Amino acid sequence: HGQTFEQVLLGESDAMLEQAEAALGKTLRNVWKRTRTEEPADMASMKQLLKRLPDVYRVHPEFDIAPSRIGGLEVAGFEALVHRAVAREKALTAPFSVHIHGDFNLDNVIFDASEGKIHFIDLHRSRFMDYVQDVSVFMVSNYRLQVHDAQTRRRVVQVAATMHALAAKFARAQNDKSFEYRLALGLARSFASSTRFVFDKSHARRMMVRARFVLEAALACPPGKENRLKLPIKELFRD
């Protein structure tokens, strides 16, 4: 019973959306706390992205560009940035694992308003992993909605910011200092790889630009200082 989170975001009142967000936050906190194990988790988001780039380029060949120069500035190709990030990610495994959904898109989250409960569907990829995997997928599945009226895009920012705040608070409580850096790599992966499902060229380009921005920000962070990275979440998700 209920509606998908996507249906709530697109068609229901602000009050119901806030109820759904609160119920989702409570559910995730409970799952993460109750299933936490001391086993480190390697999300390997950059390796995932490298595997998916050929599919991205088949849909959007314009994204497969060679390195270039602007005056004296060298601009690396996107794939070269991903390869550089693979090495950085190897040193930043999550300090613990939780049970994640594994395909945490908006339409796999059901909100039952009559009982105020959240249900998950399509759990075939559920496993123990870095919770940032689910967080980044959820945030970007929210952004990639191809509905562009001002009210919907405002709600997109709200949902993304709420999910980020929830995860960041959990990270602080668990002393997970590399959360934001791993999230940056997860968002870069999800923004870029999700463009293979987006046939609106303008919207796909906005997603790819965001993937590159987040990836460059992560790579510019000096090794050993990853815990200082702060993402401009509202600006990142605002059109």
- pLDDT tens per residue across all 239 residues of the chain: 899 999 999 999 999 999 999 999 999 999 999 999 999 999 999 999 999 999 999 999 999 988 888 888 888 899 999 999 999 999 899 999 999 999 999 999 999 999 999 999 999 999 999 999 999 999 999 999 999 999 999 999 999 999 999 999 999 999 999 999 999 999 999 999 999 999 999 999 999 999 999 999 999 999 999 999 999 999 999 98
At residue 70, the pLDDT reads 85
At 97, is the secondary structure helix, strand, or coil?
A: strand
Instruction: Specify the DSSP class assigned to residue 103.
Output: S
Residues in the chain: 239
- Residue 225 CA neighbour count, 13 Å, CB half: 9
At 118, is the secondary structure helix, strand, or coil?
A: strand
Measure Cα distances from 66 to 53, 108, 149, 237 in Å: 14, 37, 34, 27
Measure Cα distances from 186 to 18, 42, 48, 49, 190 in Å: 25, 12, 10, 9, 6
Q: What angle do CA 165, 2, 103 make, to 5 degrees?
A: 55
At residue 207, the pLDDT reads 98
At residue 147, the pLDDT reads 94
At residue 155, the pLDDT reads 97
Q: What angle do CA 211, 212, 215 make, to 5 degrees?
A: 85
Alpha carbon distance 140, 3 (integer Å): 19
194 and 144 Cβ atoms separated by less than 8 Å: yes
145 and 10 Cβ atoms separated by less than 8 Å: yes
Alpha carbon distance 138, 2 (integer Å): 19
**H-type alpha helices, 36-106:** 45-59, 78-90
Q: Is the sign of the CA dihedral 230, 49, 174, 140 positive or negative?
A: positive
- Residue 163 CA neighbour count, 13 Å, CB half: 30
Q: Which tokens go with 96?
A: 């613990």
At residue 190, the pLDDT reads 98
Strands 3-4 and 98-100: unpaired
